[in-house]
Amino acid sequence: MTTPRVLVVDDEAPIVDLVRGYLEREGMEVLSAADGPAALELIRDQSPDVVVLDVMLPGLDGFEVLRRARSMTDAYVIMLTARAEEIDRIVGLSVGADDYLVKPFSPRELAARVRALLRRPRLSAASDGEAWEVRELSVDQRRRSVTLRRTPVPLTVIEFDLLATLIRDPGVVHTRQQLLDRVWGMDYVGDEHVVDVHLANLRRKLGDDASNPTYIETVRGIGYRLKETA
């Protein structure tokens, strides 16, 4: 079994050392970077499985690091922020983060979040290799590819898995908790509203209007479903 590799990006050495100790006790290999450019170099050269990424970094902030990193990795990303404003969380999730923690945080909780991401049941080719077509949208699970009107749509791992979950059961309503269990994993311990942010991002990439959707419909007070008819 391959040892999970985690990159911790923070310019506060005591935090890095504390997190390193917890993750190494979990049997993970830990890399570290103290600024944005160094983080991008390690992401490119070392291919970590998970990146723990502070927002406030010298050189490049965490949001910009994440934007650039998404062109070269599908690693899971947990954002760390010292600011509790909801907008920071939304920005991080909308540019491709999988989860977030607000400082000060429990390193035990961070380790639990990392474990949960590593155990997340990816909807991969090993699942069933299905393919679906709904109107002008095509989703190929084996290739993990999406096209809209024959044009490729680049999605993050989570965006693809959310779409695949919805498209396999057209018309069936999925609650946030059901989507969390299916896409993030049964032991996910974060905020269930991450589902809303990732679905908003997915809708934007599909050109889908939430008020008059072609594909992803909100069922108010319950959850989401793939719309059966346009």
User: Which residues neighbour 201 within 8 Å (Cβ) at sequence distance 6 or greater?
Assistant: 93, 94, 156, 159
**Claim to verify: residue 73 and residue 149 sit in the same structural domain:** no
- Structure tokens belonging to residue 3: 């040892």
pTM above 0.75, yes or no: no
Looking at the domain assignment, is residue 177 inside a domain? yes
Looking at the domain assignment, is residue 31 inside a domain? yes
**Claim to verify: residue 149 and residue 176 sit in the same structural domain:** yes
Q: How many CB atoms lie within 10 A of CB 20?
A: 17
C-alpha 121/C-alpha 217 separation (Å) is: 24
Q: Which residue among 118, 149, 180 closes a domain?
A: 118
**Claim to verify: residue 194 and residue 147 sit in the same structural domain:** yes
**Claim to verify: residue 142 and residue 217 sit in the same structural domain:** yes
Measured between alpha carbons, how far is residue 187 from residues 100, 156, 190 in Å?
Answer: 16, 21, 9
Domain range for 13 is 5-118
Instruction: Report the CATH number that the domain containing residue 56 is assigned in CATH.
Output: 3.40.50.2300
**Claim to verify: residue 12 and residue 114 sit in the same structural domain:** yes
Looking at the domain assignment, is residue 125 inside a domain? no
**Claim to verify: residue 65 and residue 145 sit in the same structural domain:** no
Give the phi and the psi of residue 42 in degrees, each rounded to 5. -70, -35
C-alpha 152/C-alpha 110 separation (Å) is: 35
Q: 22-58: string of b/e by CB count within 10 Å (b at 16+)?
A: bbeeeebebbbbbebebbbebbeeeebbbbbbbbebe
pLDDT tens across the length of the chain (230 residues)? 589 999 999 999 999 999 999 999 999 999 999 999 999 999 999 999 999 999 989 889 999 999 898 878 888 899 988 766 666 667 777 777 888 888 888 999 999 999 888 887 555 444 455 888 888 899 988 788 899 998 999 888 888 889 999 998 888 999 998 898 888 876 676 677 788 888 998 999 999 988 889 999 999 888 999 987 65
**Claim to verify: residue 107 and residue 141 sit in the same structural domain:** no
Strand partners, 138: 133, 147
Looking at the domain assignment, is residue 140 inside a domain? yes
Task: State the total domains in the chain.
Answer: 2
**Claim to verify: residue 113 and residue 190 sit in the same structural domain:** no
**Claim to verify: residue 113 and residue 13 sit in the same structural domain:** yes
Looking at the domain assignment, is residue 124 inside a domain? no
